[in-house]
Every structure is written in structure tokens, then in C-alpha cells.
Structure 1
């Protein structure tokens, strides 16, 4: 919240979940409508101090010990990029792979 507040003009607020977001929106609407005593909550203070990370890659000194991990392994090429539509597969061929609990309970409630 603090980082975004420093970058963007206007109000920038963070809500950790939908319920906090609803309370935040209620406060925002009350302020915009001019409700007496309505204020936005204070900006949350950063809990973790920021540290500057060095963007410079550090290389081991000459003669430094290296791991025995091979670095000359070939990187495989993907067969295609993006998405493909596959047609002509019967439902009975993949129905046994479906997790009905995840489908009906997780996705459809």
C-alpha cells in the first residue's frame, strides 16, 4: 500500500480480503457523499523493511569451488506455444481422470 501510494496520484488502498474491501468501499463512498465524520482508514504501515537488492550478477572468484551440477544440459523446445483445441476425443476416454469432488464442490459450490 505504501509503495503504490508513493507512485500513484490519488487514493491507493489495500484490502486483504473481500470483507475488508467492502468496509473500505463503504468508507470511500461515505467520504465522497460528504457524510459527517466519515474518514478513510489510515495507510497501513510497512511491516517489513525494504532492502536494496544488487542487480549486478556476482561471479565467483577465480579458483573458487563450483558445484558438480552440469551447466551444458540442452533446453528442450516446446512443441507449440499458446493453446490448442483438441476435437474428436470421446468423454469415456478422459472421464476417469476428472476429479468430481474438485469440479462440483470447488468450482460449482
Structure 2
């Protein structure tokens, strides 16, 4: 009886079960972005290192070029700034509103 029931259920719902398995494994998949996408983002990062805040147009362009979602682009830049960018002291004060923002040529990176 059990085998007959299993076979009957698989015939009726086998296709749906397979697609659900794919859907669940897709959602669980997290990790690194594709290498080509990371290289494109890193290229933008290094050429804008003094002020690594892409405009909305930059983000759209990067999303189209990399094939990533805009949310992935935003998250990558947030994480990259947290991990690898420290603005100069004057930039930190300007961000907090204590000083006017300096001209981009005056941005200084400190290790």
C-alpha cells in the first residue's frame, strides 16, 4: 500500500516537488558574487576610492554591466566601505556636519 501511494503521489506531484526543491536551494544559495562582477565593481571602487559612493546612474550602469540586482550593488558598496575604506578626519567631520565637504581633490586616504 505504501509503495502504491508513494508512486501515485509522485505521478501527481513529482514535477511540483522538483520545482520546489530548486526554489528552496536557490534561496539558500548565498556567497560570493561572480568573479567578473566583482572585478567590475572593484575597478569602479579603485577609480573612485576617495569618494566611493556611486550615483544612482552609476548603480544602474553597474547593475546592467554586472548582471547583478541593484540591491546587490548597494550591499556590495556598503560592505566594501565598511571593510576597506576610512575617510580622512576632515571628511569624517564633514560627514557629521561639523565642516563643509571638501573638494574631491582634497580627499585623503589614511591606512
TM-score (norm 1): 0.16
TM-score (norm 2): 0.16
**Larger relative helix fraction:** 2
Query: Comparing both chains, which one has the higher relative contact order based on Cα–Cα distances under 8 Å and sequence gaps of 6 or more?
Result: 2
Greater C-alpha radius of gyration: 1
